[in-house]
Structure 1
Amino acid sequence: MLRLFSQMLAWLRSSTWNLVLLAGFLVLLWGMLAPVGTLVWWLNQSSESLGFKRQQRLPERNPPKTTAHSINCYVVFLTGVGDYSVDQLTPGEEFFLDRLEQLRPNCVTVRDVFPYSAANKDLAGDRFLAPLWDAAEHAEGWLKEADVLIKIRNLWRFAISADDRYGKVYNQGIADAIVDRMNAAHPISTAEPLQVILIGTSGGAQVALGAVPFLEDWLNARLIVISAGGAFDGEAGFAEAEAVYHLQGKRDWVEDIPRILFPSRWSWTVGSPINRARREGRYRTQISGPHTHDGPEGYFGTATEPSSQMAYVELTLEQVNQLPFWSSQSDNSHQD
């Protein structure tokens, strides 16, 4: 057994592609069973925790007292497929959310929703494959390539969110986690309408949109979705969201894949939710700058963009801060 294990390690070390092939096989096998975990989680929840008894909006309560600005706005951030846990924000993402809170003092940010777990658990939580995810996250040297396992695993969750069979269950769990963490960040008051801004990057945009129908039922809120190079199918959330904004980097080729992959994104699928929202002016896209999909020059990258001498994350922040939903000003962004 030890000899076989040593031979396997030698084979893996011989080529990154060998590791990728093995990762693909293992995660493909696991991915076939991925919806089972979501369904088991769902069956273990009480109807109250899933919101089945929330036939009315959240109960009225007195607004919490604050010493400075009254909080009537929540910014919920949903990370990309490379993340491992609920608190694994990059320095650029932390900077973005900190500055947004400073610019919009009536808003509080929600940073601890993990969009790739219906139960909002880290990959190293109470899971059968937790040792595998932990090893992939903390591997060093040539084994660092094993973090592709995490990305592929989270891509399966993205696929479940977009799946007609399992998506509603999964997205309802995420919506429940969003409400829970909103209330933890600042007690939710229904004394006045709220503004809930869901910001998703990469696969987080799909999960944000999937949660929108449930949040629309549960909260007295204006629901805005911002996609920063996000991937989404063009179905869930577009009928209920007040507005969806898609920021696209000039060098982000990954963002183009969903527009080819999902028929609802095709321009000639005129009856799809995204195309109806586009015609009604509720779905708009604009170029965010010379961003790549991720990394130092991504939407939340901290490298300096040569022409502007601003960090790439600052370019994203500037675009988000100027979106028209913050005020009554008209939107000059071009349509997709």
Structure 2
Amino acid sequence: MSELLLITGLLAIGLLLVAEGLLARHELMVYTIGLCAPKTALPSSVPYGRGADPARPPDAYVVYLDGIGKRRFTDTRDGGELVKAIIAGAPELRVLGQIQPYSPLADPLVGRPVWDWLRQHIGITLFLHNVMQTFVAADRRYRPLYNHAVGVQIADQLRRAGYEPASGIPVVLLCYSGGAQVATGAVEELFNQLTAPLWLITLGGFHNGANDLTHALHLHRLTSANDWIEWAGKGLFIQRWRLWRRSAWNQALDAGKITVHSLDPVTHTGPQSYISPTARLPDGRSYLDRTTETVIKIIRRDCRPKKTGTS
């Protein structure tokens, strides 16, 4: 009887994974052939940007791309605490947290009737959907299409938040976990649309290392020896291996574009994660405090507005 239950369970999981894989590709194809236009307007309760006064140019725009827990316009992984902490600690920045990294149509899962039903009855499908979207974004067959779709979404939201193309104001893509796959993929489209100076900050970044980082000025990798999910990504994708010298990731490494920051002893998720407000360092700061301070320090030190004109 136990063997029958195990086989049944494995079969159900297998069928669910196949269904999720098909659904993940379906949304991208619908976007690509123009059957459905991506959403651009936000609900009235959600601002296009928070922090610095939109009437004045901020020192930088920060676009937060959350991990696979993202399923609505508001920040869901930690209740938006990381974004709130950055805004409080650096009021000169304008922060966008509404991007949907796992939807080429910029359509959050919450609010779709079918997905609302699944959330109530088979909650794991929401998790699997975004996992599958990450692998679609990494798949060489779909990667250019996915990169274009999300790059267009980010560029549109930046404009709506007040960004002026070719203004020289820095754009920082701050990404958690699978958000790194989307962020690295959006670089080329954002540069083409906005001519913006671009920086990336990955937080436990899970990505395949295949996306072109030519137009990124620098990438800061925040990591931990205890973050097994990020380390699994390094092992899973051969473009991240140093033996694959011609990969986009290794070319960026060789060009000195990547700086590693250790945030030991944090973990990828859970009560000891990068954004934990309860876990404490020996100096009394929470893990969230240290992560926030590290991000702000990097932006203030390195992400400077690009000077325009001639001297």
TM-score normalized by the length of structure 1: 0.77
What is the match of residue 76 of structure 1? Answer: 63
Larger radius of gyration: 1
Shift of 1:19: 6.1
2:202 alignment partner, SS class: strand
Residue 285 (structure 1) shift: 1.5
- Determine whether 1:112 maps to 2:98: yes
Q: Which of 289, 292, 296 is equivalent to 1:317? A: 292
Equivalent residue number for residue 44 of structure 1: 34
Shift of 1:36: 2.5
Cα distance in 1, alignment partners of residues 121 and 301 from structure 2: 43
TM-aligned CA distance change 1:250 to 1:127, over 3 Å: same
Q: In the alignment, is residue 151 of structure 1 matched against residue 130 of structure 2? A: no
Q: Is the 8 A contact 1:123 1:133 kept in 2?
A: no
**Residue pair 1:78, 1:114 contacting (<8 A) in 2 also:** yes
What is the aligned partner in structure 2 of residue 170 from structure 1?
146
Specify whether residues 213 and 118 from structure 1 end up closer, same or farther in structure 2 by C-alpha distance, changes over 3 A only: same
CA offsets per residue over residues 121-142 of structure 1, 9 Å max, x none?
A: 11134465552145444xxxxx
Amino acid at match of 1:122: P
Aligned length: 292
- Identity %, equivalent residues: 26
User: What amino acid does structure 2 have at the position aligned with 1:242?
Assistant: L
User: 2:25 maps to which residue?
Assistant: 35
Deviates more, 1:94-103 or 1:17-26: 17-26
Distance 1:155 1:47, change over 3 A: closer
2: CA distance, partners of 1:135 / 1:201: 27
Q: Secondary structure at the match of 2:170?
A: strand
Whether contact under 8 Å (1:288, 1:319) holds in the other structure is: no
Q: Secondary structure at the match of 2:131?
A: helix
- Distance, in Å, in 1 between the alignment partners of 2:163 and 2:60 is 10
The 8 Å contact of residues 49 and 176 in structure 1, kept in 2 or not, is answered as no
Q: CA deviation at 1:95?
A: 2.9
Q: Does 1:25 align with 2:12?
A: no
Residue 210 of structure 1 is matched in structure 2 by 185
Q: Secondary structure at the match of 1:244?
A: strand
Partner of 2:269: 294
Note closer, same or farther for the CA distance 1:41–1:303 as it changes in structure 2 (3 Å cut).
Answer: same
Change (3 A) 1:23 1:193: same
Q: Distance in 1 between matches of 2:93 and 2:26?
A: 37
Counterparts of residues 115-134 of structure 1 (less than 5 Å): 115-126=101-112, 128-134=114-120
| 1:312, distance to aligned residue in structure 2 (A) | 1.1
CA distance in 1, matches of 2:210, 2:105: 23
Change in Cα spacing, 1:107 to 1:264, as seen in structure 2 (3 Å) is: same
Q: Is the 8 A contact 1:133 1:150 kept in 2?
A: yes
Paired residue secondary structure (1:197): strand
Residue 35 of structure 1: CA displacement? 1.3
Instruction: Specify every segment of 5 or more residues in structure 1 that has no aligned partner in the other structure, as ranges.
Output: 1-10, 51-64, 138-147, 330-336
Distance change in 2, residues 1:278/1:317 (3 Å): same
When residues 89 and 128 of structure 1 are mapped into structure 2, their CA distance, relative to the original with a 3 A threshold, is closer
Q: Compute the displacement of 1:47 (Å).
A: 9.8
The question of whether the paired residues in 2 share the 8 Å contact of 1:211 and 1:237 is answered with no
Aligned-pair CA distance for 1:101: 2.5
Distance 1:161 1:293 in 2: 21
CA contact (8 A) 1:224 1:244 kept: yes
Q: Find the aligned partners of 1:32 and 1:192 in 2 and give their Cα distance.
A: 41
For 2:243, the equivalent position in structure 1 comes to: 268
Q: Which amino acid aligns with 1:36?
A: H
Q: Which runs of 5+ in 2 are unaligned?
A: 41-51, 305-311
Indicate the residue corresponding to 2:213 in structure 1.
238
1:182 to 158, 162, 178: 158
Taking structure 2 as the reference length, the TM-score comes to: 0.82
Cα 1:83–1:189 change in 2 (3 A) is closer
